[in-house]
Structure 1
């Protein structure tokens, strides 16, 4: 039995997007596109690559954990005491792609970070969809 103190909270956002996985994958893995919807970054789609996501409030330290082109991508997301993992899963559908993002690792005492992620990720998804609408 796990104690409540060890339980980790996660944020999940799922959305049907009317573009093929290959197009969404580019927006998730090309630095100039990531910058348009998330943050400035030196991301490279290479397992083990360490990168930063930078915003006006500070930076997130990340490292690529898993990568399967057009299917799944995960990376650590460490900022201000939060040690978490973000995982993207792309599933083709008849009309495009089912995109799922899960961020795991919020401790019960990290409510501010948890609430920020809960509010922030849907906005990031909106930005991602805007990038997809104009990207080739």
Structure 2
């Protein structure tokens, strides 16, 4: 029995970060800060804005699909045959912010991309914490 083609996988990473959502939002939306933890980019937190993330290995084509300052950010993430959506959710807690990232849309035959994303996002989260910790 093969799985239906509509069956997709998601990578979800969640962290408690001891900073306010406003600070984390800056790291997620300001191009010079995004470059510090993710990749060089021409991002703008504006609905339908198209942007690229550029790494040594190539580029990701993206388009903003949701912007709710300090709460939610989503954008498409298309690279090397992968058509996915990255959704960030920031929830205030008593000690800071619960940050959740979900990248959805991995097909079952995209195990390499899926495993790579699982590894990569954990690394990126560590970078976000480092960047946010350096903000005044």
TM-score, with normalisation over the residues of structure 1? 0.97
Residue matched to 2:36? 36
Residue matched to 1:107? 107
1:92 aligns with 2:92: yes
Q: CA deviation at 1:5?
A: 2.6
Distance 2:70 2:6 in 1: 33
- 5+ long unaligned stretches in structure 1: none
Distance 1:23 1:67 in 2: 16
Residue matched to 1:6? 6
Distance 2:100 2:6 in 1: 25
1:82 aligns with 2:92: no
Task: Give the aligned length.
Answer: 134
Q: CA deviation at 1:75?
A: 0.1
Q: CA deviation at 1:88?
A: 0.1
Distance 1:68 1:87 in 2: 11
Runs of 4+ in 1 over 2 A off after TM superposition: none
Distance 1:51 1:134 in 2: 25
Q: Deviations over 1:55-94 (max 9, x none)?
A: 0000000000000000000000000000000000000000
Report SS of the residue matched to 1:5: coil
Distance 1:89 1:5 in 2: 28
Distance 1:8 1:46 in 2: 27
Report SS of the residue matched to 1:125: helix
Measured on the aligned residues, the alpha-carbon RMSD in Å equals 0.7
Residue matched to 2:50? 50
TM-score, with normalisation over the residues of structure 2? 0.97
